[in-house]
Structure 1
Amino acid sequence: MSIHFTVSGLTRNLIHSLGLDHERAPRPLTQEQNLLLECYLAGQIPESAWSDYVFEAPELQRHVDARRARH
């Protein structure tokens, strides 16, 4: 038995699994994440702390990027 994949299919799956496909819309945030996002955008959370939050929940940065792209 053999399994065949196309390189483009594997690449697309890898990019998607790593969260690097920027075309997809960010997932909705929880109320707590929404509050964190608002505090960060208002300058109340330092970059060092924000990077810790983003490490735990990468979708936070996608929301920041999407929000900044709109303004």
Structure 2
Amino acid sequence: MSIHFTVSGLTRNLIHSLGLDHEWWPKALTPEQKLLVECYLAGQIPESAWNDYVFEMPELERHVNARRGRH
């Protein structure tokens, strides 16, 4: 009998068991959301448009902040 775990699964379980999975922890994005984040960070999306995206999908802001090193 063998048991297989992925490192990401173990990490996620550890974070959850320690109670560290608060809302600031970025959740997985869809490919479209990842593209929006990359375009925004590259300066290709104006602030006004970005604010509209963030209003609809607040998780985008958490990912940007995590990428910039601010949690």
Identify whether the pair has TM-score above 0.5, normalized to the shorter chain.
yes
**Which structure has the highest helix share of the two?**
1
SS of 1:69's equivalent in the other structure is: coil
1:13 matched residue in structure 2: none
Q: State the identity %.
A: 71
Separation (CA, whole Å) in 2 of partners of 1:21 and 1:30 = 18
Structure 1 unaligned regions, length at least 5: 1-19
What are the residue-to-residue correspondences of 1:1-71 with 2, within 5 Å? 21-22=23-24, 25-69=25-69
Separation (CA, whole Å) in 1 of partners of 2:23 and 2:27 = 13
- Relative contact order (alpha carbons < 8 A, sep ≥ 6): 1 or 2 greater? 2
TM-score normalised over the length of structure 1: 0.64
Divergent runs of 4+, >6 A: none
How many residue pairs get aligned? The number is 49
Structure 2 unaligned regions, length at least 5: 1-21
Separation (CA, whole Å) in 1 of partners of 2:47 and 2:23 = 24
TM-score normalised over the length of structure 2: 0.64
- The Cα of 1:21 is off from its aligned counterpart by 4.5
Structure whose CA Rg is larger? 1
Q: Match of 2:57, as an amino acid? A: A
Separation (CA, whole Å) in 2 of partners of 1:21 and 1:38 = 21
